[in-house]
Structure 1
């Protein structure tokens, strides 16, 4: 049992490191290429600045979408049965796990901020902006971690879970405004991006992280989409959570 726990912690640690390195590599390479070519219409914002919030959103997504594997391990260790035997509401259990993932992902924000600073990205250092970024990261991670828990409740095995998680991350990332504006998307992709919660995470981060940047949809609208989506996912996951013990 101790070997399983150690293996889980080691995998989580390795994946977090990979995500940070991957985010930095993508931001530098893509930023330099498009900045020199001038191919990406980002208005008065340099392309490297434009994608910095998208890279943070990418880190949040990639970490959170695999969070559900922890629940599968907890089931194998008998922890899920103990949770279900407690009087704690199922929704509270699910929300607690999502918020726990959100707090842990704050380190990703620190890494992206540090690298962005060295790359010359014009970050906003206002207290309100920083607070908004922290809140957005926590909400977004909670949202995608809860979605990950739903997947875990349905597939129930680590192998199937990893396959589903890997097949979802890149479509969610590229069908958002993380690395290019929605205005240049073809109509069908623009429609998908409007249904993609990650689009609103990126939009909110872009409005609060950068100096002189604004929200495309409105910051209140971004928050509303994220909170309503999170609430809906928590309710669905609360119904499915007992299935893990079967």
Structure 2
């Protein structure tokens, strides 16, 4: 019970900080909406070619994963600022669990991601998104777990490098290949005209399977290999992110 109380205290403080300055939340939501408005119409004539009955039912899941991935992946920059201001050092002298210090921050990112995801799906309906409501909720759950993994990993990296100048190129070198190879914007498949070498390279990107799973469940399909593999990879990434994050926090705060 004490652990969860400590987690709640950290989460509440982090939420207050974000609500006082919601600029990053708004910016994080604005980018996928711009993609939806400016890039989505280009997919409508290509929907049949890429194997989609509805362009937005295909496109919104990719944007949702992009929101969870990039919104949480850069969360660690705030931790560097807190470390520089002495907040982390002040938390270290308290008897609070080191895991709670991480989990409270991850839960903040999860809550923000859930709100942004709901808003994105709602706006998607205005553009023509159609599909299974239950599937959309399950897809949002997968994205939230992926976002939690990215948040934990980002905070761990921030606490390790303690420099925005070092962290920025590392994250960019990770995020760009994932964006291009995971099929977030366009599918990486033979049907879409992708060359064999690109398809093979994309198979090594775990996020690709999450994207495929979210797209499947949005159409109401749950019993498929794509959903199974996407769910498995989501759980693996979630567990790995929390493991790395908690281990780093315990080590750095020992």
Same fold (TM over 0.5): yes
Paired position in structure 1 for 2:139: 133
**Which of the numbers 37, 42, 50 marks the counterpart of 1:42?**
50
CA distance in 2, matches of 1:215, 1:191: 25
Cα shift at 1:212: 4.8
Cα shift at 1:40: 6.8
Paired position in structure 1 for 2:209: 200
Q: State yes or no: 1:24 paired with 2:33.
A: yes
**Which of the numbers 106, 131, 135 marks the counterpart of 1:98?**
106
Paired position in structure 2 for 1:77: 85
Paired position in structure 2 for 1:122: 130
CA distance in 1, matches of 2:115, 2:98: 28
Q: State yes or no: 1:14 paired with 2:20.
A: no
TM-score (norm 2): 0.78
Name whichever of 187-196 and 66-75 sits farther off: 187-196
Q: Deviations over 1:102-132 (max 9, x none)?
A: 122112112211221101111322xx33441
Q: How many residues align?
A: 236
Paired position in structure 2 for 1:190: 199
CA contact (8 A) 1:57 1:178 kept: yes
CA distance in 2, matches of 1:208, 1:101: 23
Gaps of 5+ in 1: none
Distance 1:238 1:107, change over 3 A: same
CA contact (8 A) 2:142 2:214 kept: yes
Q: State yes or no: 1:172 paired with 2:181.
A: no
Q: Deviations over 1:56-80 (max 9, x none)?
A: 1111122101111122122223332
CA contact (8 A) 1:102 1:137 kept: no
Distance 1:74 1:40, change over 3 A: farther
CA contact (8 A) 1:64 1:148 kept: yes
CA distance in 2, matches of 1:215, 1:19: 32
Cα shift at 1:142: 0.3
CA distance in 2, matches of 1:173, 1:138: 17
Cα shift at 1:83: 4.0
CA distance in 2, matches of 1:11, 1:157: 24
Cα shift at 1:11: 10
CA contact (8 A) 1:207 1:213 kept: yes
3-state secondary structure, aligned to 1:218 = helix
Distance 1:121 1:130, change over 3 A: closer
Paired position in structure 2 for 1:67: 75
